Structure 1
């Protein structure tokens, strides 16, 4: 039988670290776009499917990367040290 009256101290940081490992609108937009473009390109490689579908998938990938960069520069991406990230109203 264990004694639950004594517990080890818990050492937690005072605040959440400023990194979020890509859990941002910019990162998710880029990731979903790249995955969609890769899927479209893969379908374009199948026999009987026009090869233009492959190139359309690559265009989707390119547009997703540009969209991720634009969103990051608008403040919806990973914050740089010393810069406060943009917060949505629901995160307060």
Structure 2
């Protein structure tokens, strides 16, 4: 039986792992980028349209909502490739204009 008493734990401290920090500090925008917002809101809007299609039993409205979701995902990727995503040139320039945050 293992000794888990307070006295045993005080005399035998547990070993912890070494923390390895990343080589650079991650961006400070916490994902608040043009690409992230555009993707999020287009997917939410497409989801609402698709949900209304299900609620009103309109198959064409459901598939319209699904197409809007797909278009929103493509839009987000295109914006990321254009530099409006995390660590992109446009995002970094905007952060510099606003004082780094």
TM-score, structure 1 length as denominator? 0.68
Runs (4 or more) in structure 1 with deviation over 4 Å come to: none
- RMSD over aligned CA atoms reads 2.5
- Contact map agreement 1:26 1:72 (CA 8 A) in 2: yes
Unmatched 5+ residue regions in structure 1?
Answer: 1-15
Structure 2: distance between partners of 1:42 and 1:52: 12
TM-score, structure 2 length as denominator? 0.62
Displacement of 1:50 in angstroms is: 2.0
User: Higher helix share goes to which structure?
Assistant: 2
Displacement of 1:86 in angstroms is: 3.8
Aligned equivalent of 1:91? 98
Deviations 1:32-91 (A, max 9, x none): 0000000000000013x42110000000000000000000010000017xx784423852
Where do residues 1-92 of structure 1 align in structure 2 (5 Å cutoff)? Answer: 17-47=26-56, 49-79=57-87, 85-88=91-94, 91-92=98-99
Q: Which has the larger radius of gyration?
A: 2
Unmatched 5+ residue regions in structure 2?
Answer: 1-24
How many positions carry a matched residue from both structures? 74
